[in-house]
């Protein structure tokens, strides 16, 4: 976990091998930018296109949703839903534009398009070298942490 920033680990409960954000690049009032370097030794590459490693699209979606969850956890730290955990409740309109392979540095941006109490509607996009690889829309609901 040496490659993962402490503030990422503090923001969401995910841990390797199911943590797909390495670093927060920027966090503003309505959006966050994060990054992830895709590593060749990640376990999904053993069975996902062996000999031609390709990052699974569903895991790219998960990385964007985790970025959104990090944003939400930072936003709720000071408001009424403090102590909750963002949980994915909707994923739609995922569009994959190009393949992502080991060694690629993926930059992700998740932006709030609407907030209704404890529900955050967001749109996200991921790029590699400035080229769009994924766009999607999603929603997360802040739920109480289980004791």
pLDDT in tens, 106-117: 999 999 999 998
> Does 84 map to a domain?
yes
pLDDT band at 146 (very low <50, low <70, confident <90, very high): confident
Residue 31 lies in a domain: yes
Residue 46, CA distances (Å) to 22, 51, 56, 119 in order: 21, 9, 12, 36
**In this prediction, what percent of the chain has a pLDDT beyond 90?**
85
14 assigned to active site: no
Reading the block at residue 88, the tokens are: 């994915």
- Asked whether residue 1 is domain-assigned, the answer is no
pTM, two decimal places: 0.94
**pLDDT value, residue 114:** 97
What's the structural domain count of the chain?
1
Tokens 């797909």 found at: 20
Per-chain mean pLDDT for the chain = 93
96-131: b (≥16 Cβ within 10 Å) or e: eeeebeeebebbbbbbbeeeeebebbbbbbbbbeee
Domain range for 83 is 6-144
> Which structure tokens are listed for 113?
């398009």
Say whether pLDDT at 20 is over 90: yes
In a domain, 139, yes or no: yes
Q: In this model, does residue 120 exceed pLDDT 60?
A: yes
Taking the C-alpha atoms of residue 139 and residue 5, their distance in angstroms, rounded to an integer, is 25
CATH number at residue 132: 3.10.129.10
The partner residues of 36 in beta bridges, in order of sequence, read 106
In a domain, 92, yes or no: yes
Q: Which of 44, 48, 74, 105 is catalytic?
A: 48
């Amino acid at each position: 976990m040496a490659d993962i920033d402490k503030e990422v680990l503090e923001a969401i409960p995910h841990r390797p091998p199911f943590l797909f954000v390495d670093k927060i690049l920027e966090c503003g009032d309505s959006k966050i930018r994060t990054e992830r370097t895709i590593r060749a030794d990640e376990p999904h590459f053993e069975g996902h296109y062996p000999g031609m490693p390709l990052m699974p699209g569903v895991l790219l979606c998960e990385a964007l949703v985790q970025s959104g969850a990090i944003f939400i956890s930072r936003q709720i730290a000071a408001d009424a839903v403090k102590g909750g955990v963002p949980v994915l409740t909707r994923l739609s309109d995922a569009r994959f534009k190009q393949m992502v392979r080991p060694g690629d540095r993926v930059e992700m941006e998740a932006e709030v398009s609407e907030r209704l109490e404890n529900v955050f509607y967001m749109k996200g996009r991921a790029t590699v070298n400035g080229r769009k690889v994924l766009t999607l829309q999603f929603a997360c609901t802040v739920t109480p942490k289980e004791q």
